[in-house]
């Protein structure tokens, strides 16, 4: 968008807002060639004053979720999907229905027990529900199949830390960094563990690595 149009839009927006309400109080974004403004629960186009339809991800998910189970049932009846197909379906379903996403990962692992990515994702869904035992089992399954799977090691570290097993968590974070030295979150979590254990020098080193890798991302 041209700077002239942006300035004109902002001037018009300032006039539309209630007296005393600054531009900084609203969220301004672009959608294609349009400027959209969100103020609390209302979204509109300031150039025209037209209210725009806005659905949050959660609202969309609640509308689509009833169709997710039907989609999985249809795929199961079809019987033509391989493990990678079920894994891809699980990825698509996660934002809509974690339950059906987990079911798709179940099918992927039933067809290919060595599918490490499906195990990691299923473990994460279980982890988010607080099922730490089952999540740990899935992460360990992924690590057993793919010892070089940095994310599996990292997620294992998180669940171990959640279970209060800091020494094992530290080993898992180090294993993750051994396979991906630029995994910033592993540096951050390991820095926290080292700080709690009294190793301030180690904590500073990993925190510096975290900031460096974050800046590089």
- pLDDT tens profile 11-21: 777 777 766 56
Cα-trace Rg, the chain:
23
Query: What are the tens digits of pLDDT across the range 139-193?
Result: 999 999 999 999 999 999 999 999 999 999 999 999 999 999 999 999 999 999 9
For range 111-136, the mean pLDDT: 96
Burial code (b: 16+ CB inside 10 Å, e: under 16) for 12-41 equals ebeeeeeeeeeeeebebeeeeeebbbebee
Sequence-distant (6+) residues with CB within 8 A of 86 are 75, 104, 105, 107, 108, 111, 118
User: CA angle 61-65-68, nearest 5°?
Assistant: 130
pLDDT at 55: 47
Query: What are the tens digits of pLDDT across the range 43-89?
Result: 777 777 776 655 455 555 556 566 666 777 777 777 778 999 899 88
Q: Minimum mean pLDDT among 21-25, 93-97, 147-151: which range? A: 21-25
Sequence-distant (6+) residues with CB within 8 A of 103 are 72
Strand order in the sheet with 50-51: 27-31, 34-39, 42-45, 50-51
Q: Where are the domains of the chain?
A: 3-51
pTM above 0.85, yes or no: no
Contact between residue 203 and residue 194 where contact means Cβ atoms under 8 Å apart: yes
Measured between alpha carbons, how far is 118 from 95 in angstroms, rounded to an integer?
16
pLDDT at 169: 97
The residue length of the chain stands at 217
Partner residues linked to 36 by β-bridges: 29
């Amino acid at each position: 968008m041209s700077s002239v149009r942006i300035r004109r839009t902002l001037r018009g927006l300032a006039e539309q807002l209630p007296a005393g309400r600054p531009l900084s109080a609203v969220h301004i974004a672009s959608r294609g060639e349009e400027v959209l403004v969100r103020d609390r629960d209302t979204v509109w186009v300031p150039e025209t004053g037209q209210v725009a339809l806005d659905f949050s991800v959660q609202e969309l998910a609640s509308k689509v979720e009833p169709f997710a189970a039907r989609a999985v049932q249809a795929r199961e009846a079809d019987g033509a999907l391989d493990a990678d197909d079920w894994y891809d379906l699980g990825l698509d379903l996660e934002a809509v229905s974690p339950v059906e996403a987990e079911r798709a990962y179940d099918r992927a692992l039933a067809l290919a027990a060595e599918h490490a990515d499906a195990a990691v994702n299923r473990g994460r869904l279980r982890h988010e529900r607080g099922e730490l035992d089952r999540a740990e089992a899935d992460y360990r399954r992924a690590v057993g199949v793919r010892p070089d799977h940095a994310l599996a090691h990292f997620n294992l570290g998180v669940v171990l830390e959640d279970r209060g097993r800091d020494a094992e968590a530290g080993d898992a974070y180090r294993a993750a960094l051994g396979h991906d030295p630029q995994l910033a979150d592993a540096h951050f979590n390991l820095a926290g563990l080292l700080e709690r254990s009294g190793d301030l020098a180690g904590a500073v080193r990993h925190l510096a690595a975290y900031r460096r890798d974050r800046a590089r991302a």
